[in-house]
Chains A and B, each alone.
Chain A
């Protein structure tokens, strides 16, 4: 419920409230997801060139994740995870990825809010919801501002440069067009044009930003919120089939879970965790290699 006595920024902040009755379950699911996400992510970024401190970070993050499930030390576990994430963000500067900032924000938010208190559980949910809305809204709006989706420019380049995009979005283009795009030398001068006229491809290209902007705005309003969240989850899955940023997709799912009933989140969570487990096992050679970006 939005208080009429609060100043307008706070009324706006509270506009995304709702579903307080099961806030405990919502926060519990998100905390479980986040800690498992971080524990897995810190292992899959390790590779041949990794240094010993990075292995130490991965071990420490796993310990912090385990601690977060043990009531007497759960808050300390989350706080340690936030500190480790901050260390990772600082260490990766100036090439820190956006999803690392997002991970830092979320785990810090978990540590910052005292989730034993109902008002702070509500504060956590409110903040995470706005974070989801802002990230999705700006992801779509930036595509419009850069102007690289109206004629399929960015996605044409992606079909040319990435096998995953060729095997997915490339199916919406004639074979000759795919061959033309893939023959372009990116180091030529000029090198292009990466622009296509296939109607279905253009629908997909323009649908990407329209979906992100439209659904993010629909997340704000109680009447459209749940449908928008489910629609956005479907869009995230479709995007990740091509982009294969498994963990960014996972983070997006996590944020969207703040909008849907916990019983739906409980159905989505195991699916995401299966994908995470597959990524982890594949990373350590226990499953066949498959292409994804950590």
Chain B
């Protein structure tokens, strides 16, 4: 299984190889320290250990999410919830990967478009995250208020 015999360039252009060597050394150098930066981002913003090349897959369970909506102190109407479901599902995926760096603005826009009578509402994101010291899932609630 050898590399197909193509025409080998007459001059191997060692300067090009040297330049490529430097590029790859820089890339590997960045990759060597990136997991430490990634770890800091996981701790600070709940970034997913499973994503973004931190190579921390299988370190923590993916957090479970619950996304609720409250308008005027009451849960949002079921019909509206059904209509905004595609935006909520997309946001849930994004939130699992990006943690608190992902704000639910797209969901809010969908609610505003679907329920023109709603003046203000809150999107409540409950994250069930894995706490290593207690080896248990704990709950963290973050509320995002929106007004028209």
Chain A positions within 8 Å of B, measured between CB atoms, are: 9-10, 13, 24-25, 27-29, 31-32, 69-72, 74-75, 94-98, 101, 109, 112-121, 123, 127, 130-131, 134-135, 138-139, 141-143, 145-148, 151, 153-154, 156-158, 161, 186-195, 243, 262, 266
Chain A CB count within 10 A is highest, among B1, B21, B96, for B1
Q: A74-B6, A153-B132 are in contact. Are A123 and B58 (CB under 8 A)?
A: no
Residues in chain A near residue B53, CB distance under 8 A: 98, 101
B142 within 8 A of A: no
Q: Tell me if B3 and A243 are in contact (CB < 8 A).
A: no
CB distance from A141 to the nearest CB of B (A): 7
Q: Which residue of B lies closest to A115 (CB)?
A: B3
**Complex CA–CA separation, A72 to B66 (angstroms):** 54
Q: Tell me if A13 and B21 are in contact (CB < 8 A).
A: yes
Residues in chain B near residue A194, CB distance under 8 A: 130, 135-136
**A-B residue pairs in contact (CB < 8 Å), sample of 22:** A10-B25, A29-B1, A74-B4, A74-B6, A95-B51, A96-B52, A119-B14, A120-B12, A120-B20, A123-B17, A143-B56, A151-B135, A157-B61, A158-B61, A161-B61, A187-B64, A187-B66, A188-B137, A189-B128, A192-B135, A194-B130, A266-B1
Q: Number of B interface residues, CB 8 Å?
A: 55
Q: Tell me if A189 and B137 are in contact (CB < 8 A).
A: yes
Chain B positions within 8 Å of A, measured between CB atoms, are: 1-9, 12, 14, 16-17, 20-21, 23-25, 28-29, 31-32, 35, 39, 49-61, 64, 66, 93-94, 96-98, 102, 128, 130-132, 134-139
Give the number of A-B contacts (CB < 8 Å). 168
Residues in chain B near residue A190, CB distance under 8 A: 131, 134, 136-138
Residues in chain A near residue B102, CB distance under 8 A: 94
CB distance from A98 to the nearest CB of B (A): 6
Q: A116-B3, A146-B59 are in contact. Are A192 and B134 (CB under 8 A)?
A: yes
Q: A71-B4, A98-B50 are in contact. List 12 more A-B contacts (CB 8 A).
A: A27-B3, A28-B3, A95-B94, A95-B96, A96-B52, A117-B17, A138-B56, A146-B132, A148-B130, A187-B66, A191-B137, A193-B134
Residues in chain B near residue A157, CB distance under 8 A: 61, 130
